[in-house]
Chains A and B, each alone.
Chain A
Amino acid sequence: MKNNRFFFWSLAGPGSVFLVLFLILPLISIIVFSFWRTESYQLYADWNLDNYRVLATNASYATFLIRSLVMATVVSAVSLVFAWPAAFFITRYGGQFKIILLLLTSTPFLTGEILRVTAMQQILGPIGLINMALGSFGFDPIAFIMYTNTSTAIGLVYLWLPFMVLAIHLSLLNFDFELLQVAKVNGARPLRAFWEITWPLNRAGSAIGVVLVFIPTLASSIPSKFMGGPNGSLFGNILANQFGSTGTWALGSAMGVVLFLVSMLVLFLVWKSIGDPKRSGITIKGGG
């Protein structure tokens, strides 16, 4: 028994210490700060609900939050649509190249986030590849991809797509493709077979992918800052401002708490949507 306990702590210990130090403690400090007050770049520990009152009454914060939620929903949905064929292809036909193909999806991360976003501008912007090419043939530039929410969305999909591909791929590794043959022999056309069998049995993979895309998008600020244009600010940009130029850390902390709660809610909803794992594909072949 003693040995078992040692085994347990040697596995769970390092991660727990790390989480307490760098996640739980900062989180607690943010919660604490959110009930404080900032004045002239100074934090004052007089407990109040003022920051939350501001967030609740000033409509612009709600607007930014809704914009971020819409953005995260759109980006997750688009990523899902793009990632599925890629992940399916890698899993089904990747053969000996499966691992290489999967590692290659990480290529966007080989450079920094800002560099990647800047590179996207070179494609989408007014003097970018697409619009310059259109212009040289005498066409009007495509306005909706230049410094708009659409271009932010494109940038975000580009950033987070690999996570979605990875999540779906890992789910498909656990999927018995023979079930598709069964469906076809029983009269299902390929798309119908996907909808009846592949999709429901990999719901968990899609859900985890959505979480991995949705939550970072909700908090993101860099793509919208560089690609979003004048009306492209998201909740993350406004939050970043509180810790930067305006120096209103307490308000920023309150925004962080709101973001945290919304993310938790999303996690909860996704978890609920997965349902019984025995029927959603998680434990068909693996343990448990």
Chain B
Amino acid sequence: MSNIVLTLENVSKYFGAITAADNINIDVGQTEFFALLGPSGSGKTTMLRMIAGLEIPDKGRIVIGGKDVTNLPPYLRGIGMVFQDFLLFPHKTVAENIIFPLKMQKSSEAEKRENLKWVINLVHLEGLEGRYPHQLSGGQKQRVALARGLVSRPSLLLLDEPLANLDRELRKEMEVEIRRFQLELGIPFVYVTHNQEEALTMSDRMAIMRDGKMEQVGKKFSLYHRPTSRFVASFLGSPNMFKGRVSAIDGAVATLDWNGHAIKANVHHGLKLGDDAVCYIKSEKIHLQSGKGAMSGNIRDVIFKGQYADFLVVLENMQEITASDSHREQMVEGAQVHVTWEPENADAFPVED
């Protein structure tokens, strides 16, 4: 990774008995879009607040641009941040809101004018400079919040679920825009969200958090296709879960006995012969064909989504799985089908993991 801008080194944070961050290590590079993804309460917002200086870690170091900022107050860190509820200043106009960081830095009037013009063009807020926040739509407020975070051209932009309060259509549009801003500015964005679609759409790399722990960090593709943690395997995409006993192990591939069906899967976390295992496989990696095969069953229901459909199939061993595949007209309720998948797309973990 070229040119690291942000480093978290063994960072821990406790709120009473709750561990909000447990020995976290992250590096974020100069041109990276880094997503922190996790369910609510997983500690991702605390991480962001520690980077911003709104919380001080109990252990560890935070380095921004080569400078140790662990104990620096937020106003000396020189970073931008976009908040979940926009949090615009209601008594300031759009322009006043946006140039607030420059005003705090005592920038010259010329610089304020120039940066304001640049950022207003960037986020498409032309003509709204004199409005007050209560006169704006949700999408416009979001753009103002983004502009305020970007106007001083910070070395790092933090985003805390910035799209959570927007409707779906607007969110889709903003996802693309935010990614465009990041590419245009060439600064790292650290983006907190509980919405995996957002994280997968925008980010280069992502970290998945649970209970204050980092479950897995890496490129989004490797997290999605090659999960190394049971939680990540179960969290990303819409995976099927099977439970079975390991009946054979051949190097990194295990064979599980799943109610009479033998299924092959990648071995994780020291899975041994005879162990009870859980196996995850994403529904779109299951292929569906008409007729009988090694693993056959009947379609119980078809949920048509347009480009594809979710087929709920009850197999001969009475287990139900969901396969997402292109919709074909002969694939109707009751039709006999058989399913296949590449063994490398299934991941098995010890049950007690």
Interface residues, chain A, with chain B CB atoms under 8 Å away = 176, 178-179, 181-189, 192, 196-197, 200-201, 278-281, 284
B90:A278 contact, CB within 8 angstroms: yes
Q: Restricting to B76-92, which residues have a CB under 8 Å from any CB of A?
A: 77-81, 83, 85, 87, 89-91
A279:B75 contact, CB within 8 angstroms: no
B90:A185 contact, CB within 8 angstroms: no
For B53, B91, B104, B134, the residue with the greatest tally of chain A CB atoms inside 10 Å of its CB is: B91
Interface residues, chain B, with chain A CB atoms under 8 Å away = 52-54, 73-75, 77-81, 83, 85, 87, 89-91, 100-101, 104-105, 132, 134, 148, 152
A186 to B82, CA, bound (A): 10
A184:B83 contact, CB within 8 angstroms: no
B101:A187 contact, CB within 8 angstroms: yes
B91:A185 contact, CB within 8 angstroms: no
* CB-defined contacts of B75 to chain A, threshold 8 Å: 184-189
A278:B134 contact, CB within 8 angstroms: yes
Interface of A is mostly: helix
Top 4 A-B residue pairs of the complex, sorted by shortest distance between their CB atoms: A187-B104, A279-B91, A186-B101, A184-B74
Q: Which residue on A lies nearest to B87, using beta carbons?
A: A182
* CB-defined contacts of A279 to chain B, threshold 8 Å: 90-91, 132, 134
Please name 12 further chain A to chain B contacts, defined as beta carbons within 8 Å, in addition to the given A183-B100, A185-B75, sorted by A numbering.
Answer: A181-B54, A182-B83, A183-B104, A184-B73, A185-B53, A185-B79, A186-B100, A186-B104, A186-B148, A197-B89, A201-B89, A280-B91
* CB-defined contacts of A182 to chain B, threshold 8 Å: 81, 83, 87, 89
Interface of B is mostly: loop
Min Cβ gap A275→B in Å is 9
Min Cβ gap B311→A in Å is 46
Query: Given A185-B81, A201-B90, A279-B91, A192–B132 Cβ distance below 8 Å?
Result: no
* CB-defined contacts of B52 to chain A, threshold 8 Å: 185
Query: Given A178-B83, A187-B105, A188-B104, A200–B91 Cβ distance below 8 Å?
Result: yes
| A/B interface sample: 5 pairs, CB < 8 A | A178-B83, A182-B87, A185-B77, A187-B75, A187-B104
A182 to B132, CA, bound (A): 17
Min Cβ gap B148→A in Å is 7
* CB-defined contacts of A181 to chain B, threshold 8 Å: 54, 74
Q: Which residue on A lies nearest to B81, using beta carbons?
A: A185
* CB-defined contacts of A281 to chain B, threshold 8 Å: 90-91
Min Cβ gap A203→B in Å is 8
A153 to B80, CA, bound (A): 47
* CB-defined contacts of A197 to chain B, threshold 8 Å: 89
* CB-defined contacts of B100 to chain A, threshold 8 Å: 183, 186, 188, 196
Min Cβ gap B85→A in Å is 8
A67 to B54, CA, bound (A): 48
